[in-house]
Amino acid sequence: MVGSTEANRRLYSNGSIQNYNGLEEKLDELRSLLGKVDGDPLRIVGVGAGAWGSVFAALLQDTYGQFREKVQIRIWRRAGRAVDRATAEHLFEVINSREDVLRRLIRRCAYLKYVEARLGDRTLYADEILKDGFCLNMIETPLCPLKVVTNLQEAVWDADIVVNGVPSTDTREVFEEISHYWKERITVPIIISLAKGIEAALEPVPHIITPTQMINRATGLPIENILYLGGPNIASEIYNKEYANARICGAEKWRKPIAKFLRQPHLIVWDNSDLVTHEVMGGLKNVYAIGAGMVAALTNESATSKSVYFAHCTSEMIFITHLLAEEPEKLAGPLLADTYVTLLKGRNAWYGQMLAKGEISRDMGDSISGKGMIQGVSAVRAFYELLSHSSLNVFHPEGNKPVAPVELCPILKTLYKILITREHSSQAILQALRDENLNDPRERIEIAQSHTFYRPSLLGQPQ
């Protein structure tokens, strides 16, 4: 039939063209696996509207939103967060620089409120602008309009798939509340967690608690229904169709069909069975990204200084993976790739830069207006507390004695003293790099590779 190929191709709000039939087939396949029948839409809910959470929901809306009878996509965020005057002015500039966005707002009769906010005659709210496609933590990247719900019970009570987009520091609290709304459920939902961060627990033995574990304990959902999705990627670049990778980790029952459902021409989604270790690595790279930002700012973006830092921080990360994983070499590619992109362009690196430049202070905390939660700060505390525990002692070949693992991680120690105890200024990160007693990164890697450091108890597994 003439024109049938073009008729089956759709232009999406972010400029992509995708095959209509192929998308519907993927949606039907996932619906079938979840036991959905005609007239009963697949309900996908994003919980939390930070940059990654908002982009994830917008990608799904852009891709599958036209199949309204088969899928419903919505996002929850807390109500009441006001947009300050400076952000409103910047948002107005972004709107007027994009003809497609400007026309969309005019068609929706929504442009006038942004004019009024620019003039200071009206207060905008984060949930209000999200409905128009603007994430407060990512103003520069307009998204498609989203269905926004501010009542958590309304958002999740009948959800088939819940995407956890809240920070790890809020995950337990939010899902404990959600569990109250699921007491009468017959079907078991699927959770896809985007959170990157960990908590440290020191009793009965030092171990890591990840967001998926928090969700499991808060809700009682079987762990096979809880998945983790990680990088390497940057949220705004994914939405703007930059080529990117992601990795979904968890039980085979769900990770493979969901990987297929999420995969797009510009976003390759791989799958992996090692849920917890990949999740922990997602939190670890944020630790070292903060230091990378400090080094960049303090050395005027010196390529040499940044490369020296990269060598040392990656050697520490490789050492830590030997504590966490029985086969750490399997993590090398994903870990280094995710670290590299986060050091290049991520909110944790930005935070380190701003601290070093004096444009923000540690007294402002780790939730920064326009950026959201800086997960690396809590991760610095958690990893330091875990790796300084004497029960995890490892043999230091140079000192010929057992030491806490943190003693082989001078950058982590320095970041802890800068960010947590505040004994040092940001300049201390350069002093650590320039210490003539600092081991060659090669030596730290050799120590890790030549000794049996694996501590399964760190991930809550038996010795």
Round to the nearest angstrom and report the end-to-end CA distance of the chain: 65
Q: Residue 120: enclosing H or E segment and its boundaries?
A: none
Which of 36, 113, 285, 371 is flagged as catalytic?
285
Q: Residue 416: enclosing H or E segment and its boundaries?
A: helix 410-419
Question: How far is residue 109's CA from residue 113's CA, in Å, rounded to a whole number?
Answer: 9
Question: How far is residue 146's CA from residue 165's CA, in Å, rounded to a whole number?
Answer: 15
Q: Which residues share a beta bridge with 450? A: none
What pLDDT does residue 177 have? 97
Cβ neighbours, 10 Å, residue 310: 18
Structural domains of the chain in order of their starting residue, each with its CATH number: 4-80+147-275 (3.40.50.720), 85-124 (no CATH), 276-459 (1.10.1040.10)
pLDDT in tens, the chain (463 residues): 334 444 445 545 554 445 566 899 999 999 999 999 999 999 999 999 999 999 999 999 999 999 999 999 999 999 999 999 999 999 999 999 999 999 999 999 999 999 999 999 999 999 999 999 999 999 999 999 999 999 999 999 999 999 999 999 999 999 999 999 999 888 999 999 999 889 999 988 899 999 999 999 999 999 999 999 998 888 899 999 999 899 999 999 999 999 999 999 999 999 988 888 889 988 899 999 999 999 999 999 999 999 999 999 999 999 998 888 888 877 777 778 888 888 888 899 999 999 999 999 999 988 888 888 899 999 999 999 999 998 888 887 777 788 899 998 999 999 999 999 999 999 999 999 988 777 788 888 888 887 778 888 888 775 5
Tokens 């960990």 map to which residue?
198
Q: Which of 294, 282, 426, 306 is nearest to 351 (CA)?
A: 294
Residue 420 CB partners (closer than 8 Å, separation 6+): 377, 380, 381, 384
In the annotation, is 285 catalytic?
yes
Residue ranges of alpha helices (H) inside 44-110 are 51-64, 85-97, 99-107
What pLDDT does residue 437 have? 74
